[in-house]
A and B are shown apart, each in its own frame.
Chain A
């Protein structure tokens, strides 16, 4: 029984309670995978045209049109390398691990379709080295695929990359996979021009490949049967904070926050705000629950879903302490390559800590605000921009709380258990 156009869920359809969906069950659900082969025409790859009609955009955070990216790689005139970015450095995100670990064949489908269209001879699955189970599942799933046994099939490897916030940053990933440091590099050249070992490289998020698979198998019209005109299809959202069932849910484009919360079992306690887009994202008021999670509409309002992250911040948490902890972590996760990021993020984190403790708190609010503007677009990657967006948005949304801390120091909630997760720091940072 093949998956109907309006049927929901899509990406997570048939997900077993444990283990991964076997190939036979996967094919029963989605039908055979059509592989177009490399197109002779430079500009008319059937899959790329279909992806453009479907309106697929990357699901890793930047939301770049997938057809445009594939086209850019396709026209470089060499056999490109494909990197499946499953590194998922954002601590609030769990969707890529879930998708790759439970529905690996859907991701592999997308990779095979893209490899066939682009004429790729090399595919690399990049996974966080600290999440070992997923690599095993992926190896098992890959071994089941007859397409990879054929002559002319791309060479496939599963690579572990060091964890950390920047591990999934496109140029850092390409550098690490090419044997260099896992640090961002200066662009241009972009990976699509010169990537791993100088070869044009397509780097896309695991979920993006799963969406490519859906378009390759079912077509653009089928894809558009769910979601909105400007945000077609479905996406995975990692929900955490004050909900009964934190975790990954699949929603159609245009779903409201209220519907998302109810899909996560409802609120467990009153909330003071909603974080959209993770540690590079923005804070919304608890009254914004009718907001539609339509990636296009959100972009127009200057908001972003990032890699699909929503946190419901309970009223029992201290926003200043939460933001302070994250700012310090981001400062430590910086690759420490660019001056404004090194010094700016450190200054911001220091000032935020002073608000919750001793030190000179006078004018801290204004100073943090100014630094948040000062670091934007001045790094090789967008880590400082994301951190500044996250902090500045909290300052604006929760101004009275920050003012209160500036006058009176730490509040009673400052010592409460943190809601926003911060991975343990390496004892000896590898730099």
Chain B
């Protein structure tokens, strides 16, 4: 199950620690706010990503299992069957 970095832009106040800890995927804009690249969170980077998440003073950065659908699905659709959470 792949994980994805998720930033809560309201909670983020631009401390910038995440960009220090995970420069492979996060850089800071000219006002000091993080920009998260779309790149894949490879197993090698996962540990660094967790440190970045833990270091965020405002808890704005999170690691989330990728959800199949964030928006409601079409009528009659329903979620894909047979998926069990695995950590």
Q: Are A72 and B72 in contact (CB under 8 A)?
A: yes
Known: A185-B10, A186-B8, A186-B11. Contact between A340 and B74, CB under 8 A?
A: no
Q: Is residue A408 contacting chain B, with contact meaning CB distance below 8 A?
A: no
Q: Are B76 and A340 in contact (CB under 8 A)?
A: no
A43: chain B residues within 8 A (beta carbon): 75-76, 78
Q: Is residue A255 contacting chain B, with contact meaning CB distance below 8 A?
A: no
Q: Is residue B57 contacting chain A, with contact meaning CB distance below 8 A?
A: no
C-alpha spacing A70/B73, complex, angstroms: 11
Q: Is residue B12 contacting chain A, with contact meaning CB distance below 8 A?
A: yes
A27-35, A118-126, A372-380 - the one binding chain B? A372-380
Q: Are A71 and B10 in contact (CB under 8 A)?
A: no
Q: Are A188 and B74 in contact (CB under 8 A)?
A: no
- The smallest C-beta distance from A296 to any residue of chain B, in angstroms, reads 16
Q: Is residue A68 contacting chain B, with contact meaning CB distance below 8 A?
A: yes
A218: chain B residues within 8 A (beta carbon): none
Known: A188-B70, A378-B35. Contact between A337 and B9, CB under 8 A?
A: yes
Q: Is residue B2 contacting chain A, with contact meaning CB distance below 8 A?
A: no
A190: chain B residues within 8 A (beta carbon): 70-72
Q: Are A339 and B9 in contact (CB under 8 A)?
A: yes
- The smallest C-beta distance from B58 to any residue of chain A, in angstroms, reads 11
Interface residues of B in 2-57 (CB under 8 A from A): 8-14, 29-33, 35
B31: chain A residues within 8 A (beta carbon): 339-340, 343-344
B78: chain A residues within 8 A (beta carbon): 43
C-alpha spacing A340/B27, complex, angstroms: 13
B30: chain A residues within 8 A (beta carbon): 343
Count, chain B residues at interface, CB 8 A: 21
B33: chain A residues within 8 A (beta carbon): 339-340, 343, 378
A379: chain B residues within 8 A (beta carbon): 9
Q: Is residue A49 contacting chain B, with contact meaning CB distance below 8 A?
A: yes
B71: chain A residues within 8 A (beta carbon): 64, 190
Interface residues of A in 173-207 (CB under 8 A from B): 184-186, 188, 190, 192
Known: A343-B31, A343-B33, A374-B29. Contact between A338 and B10, CB under 8 A?
A: yes
Q: Are A186 and B10 in contact (CB under 8 A)?
A: yes
Q: Are A339 and B13 in contact (CB under 8 A)?
A: yes
C-alpha spacing A343/B35, complex, angstroms: 14
C-alpha spacing A64/B71, complex, angstroms: 10
A38: chain B residues within 8 A (beta carbon): none
A65: chain B residues within 8 A (beta carbon): 74
C-alpha spacing A379/B10, complex, angstroms: 8
B73: chain A residues within 8 A (beta carbon): 68, 72
- The smallest C-beta distance from A143 to any residue of chain B, in angstroms, reads 34
Q: Is residue A67 contacting chain B, with contact meaning CB distance below 8 A?
A: yes
**A211-252 vs B, Cβ < 8 Å mask (1 yes, 0 no):** 000000000000000000000000000000000000000000
Q: Are B9 and A68 in contact (CB under 8 A)?
A: no
15 extra interface residue pairs, beta carbon distance < 8 Å, beyond A71-B72, A378-B35 = A43-B75, A43-B78, A48-B75, A52-B74, A65-B74, A68-B75, A72-B72, A186-B9, A190-B71, A190-B72, A338-B10, A339-B14, A340-B31, A380-B9, A380-B10
The interface of chain B, by Cβ under 8 A from chain A, is 8-14, 29-33, 35, 70-76, 78
Q: Can you sample 28 A-B contacts with CB below 8 Å?
A: A43-B76, A48-B75, A49-B75, A64-B71, A65-B74, A67-B74, A68-B72, A68-B73, A69-B72, A71-B72, A71-B74, A71-B76, A184-B10, A185-B10, A186-B11, A192-B72, A337-B10, A339-B12, A339-B32, A339-B33, A340-B29, A340-B31, A343-B30, A343-B33, A374-B35, A378-B33, A380-B8, A380-B10
